[in-house]
Amino acid sequence: MDYSGSGDPQRTIDLLWGVPQQSRRGPKPKLTVEDIATVAIRIADQDGLTGVTLRRVADELGVTAMSLYGYVPGKAELLDLIADRAHIDYPMPEDGPAEWRPRLETIARNNWTLYLTHPWLLQIAANRPLPGPRATAKYDYELRAVDGLGLPDVDMDLIVSLVNDYVRGAARTAVDTAAAESETGMSDQQWWNAFGPALARVLDPHQFPTAVRVGATAGAEYGAAYAPTRAFEFGLHRMLDGIEQFIDTVTGQANTSTSPPG
């Protein structure tokens, strides 16, 4: 697991936010930070964060690894850079749904797509916020979905965190499921063909009646042991139901406390 903000704080912020460095003499730079980020993201999409090294990025750009240090201080700062740049295509339309529920649902789906497109983002711990401009803009956009409802600021933050945490967990399982065949060399059907007969000999339906019944029904329905997209959809709507009840409770209490006595 990697952590954002593991590099030099000032140099990281300067890099992410495009703060100009002191001018230096010499020829015009051959590269831009965007060139480096684009290549590094492509590598991460292919091979995960372990594949992202300054040497490999330099090789693909046709320069020496040492030359990259003039643009990016080190790997820690590079990871922060690409994690922020990964949000560059994250949709944040101002003319989106007006109501909070469809807005949160859209945000959840966009996050789902983001993680499936760049699964290496799941390798970066979520407990420390990315300090870059795009991640900050995304957080601001997500908060606006529940702004103006009469919620306390902390509750707004907690709702956004709830949605993001749910999607992150669901996406991690989806990514693991998608990678299982390539990582093990065995499809779900092949796995079941191998383990099913052995499991059937020890799985007593009288001892585990509910597990046997439900497991068989779900397996027949999904055609696999697990259906990531269906689980995501089911959980998303149940989560939004709970948020709706919470918002109604909080705003209803606030309205009651501010109403003049009859």
- Cβ atoms of 79 and 49 within 8 Å: the answer is yes
Residues 197 and 169 in one domain: yes
pLDDT single digits (tens) 83-101: 999 999 999 998 888 899 9
pLDDT of residue 259 exceeding 60:
no
Burial call 186-217: b when 16+ CB within 10 Å, e when fewer: eebeeeeeeeeeeeeeeeeeeeeeeeeeeeee
36 lies in the same domain as 136: no
Cβ of 44: how many Cβ atoms within 10 Å? 22
For position 113, which CATH number holds? 1.10.357.10
pTM of the predicted structure, to 2 decimals:
0.90
Instruction: Band the pLDDT of 255: cuts 50, 70, 90.
Output: low
Residue by residue, DSSP assigns 23-73 as: P--SSPPS--HHHHHHHHHHHHHHH-GGG--HHHHHHHHTS-HHHHTTT--
Number of domains in the chain: 2
- In this predicted structure, the answer to whether residue 225 has a pLDDT above a threshold of 90 is no
**Does 226 lie in the same domain as 119?**
yes
Structure tokens at 192: 């079941």
The pLDDT of 131-151, averaged and rounded, is 96
Region 117-121: mean pLDDT is 97
At 106 the three-state DSSP class reads helix
Same domain, 142 and 73: no
Cα maximum dimension of the chain: 80
How far is 77 from 5, CA to CA, in rounded Å? Answer: 7
Q: Picking from 137-151, 219-233, 237-251, which range would have the lowest pLDDT averaged per residue? A: 219-233
In a 10 Å sphere around its CB, with 0-12 CB exposed, 13-18 middle and 19+ buried, how is residue 85 labelled?
buried
108 and 75 assigned to the same domain: no
Encode pLDDT of 10-26 as tens digits.
999 999 999 987 655 55
For residue 190, the enclosing domain spans: 100-250
Please tell me the predicted confidence (pLDDT) of residue 131: 85
**What are the distances in angstroms from CA 166 to CA 75, 139, 147, 237?**
29, 16, 20, 11
Is 37 buried (19+), middle (13-18) or exposed (0-12) by CB count in 10 A? buried
pLDDT in tens, 159-208: 999 999 999 999 999 999 989 988 899 888 888 888 888 988 999 999 99
Is 105 in the same domain as 235? yes
Question: In sequence order, what are the residues at sequence separation of 6 or more whose Cβ sits closer than 8 angstroms to the Cβ of residue 135?
Answer: 83, 84, 87, 129
pLDDT tens for 38-82 read 999 999 999 999 999 999 999 999 999 999 998 999 999 999 999
CATH number for the domain that contains residue 69: 1.10.10.60
**Residue 104 and residue 225 share a domain:** yes
Which has the higher per-residue pLDDT, 261 or 95? Answer: 95
Residue 204 pLDDT? 93
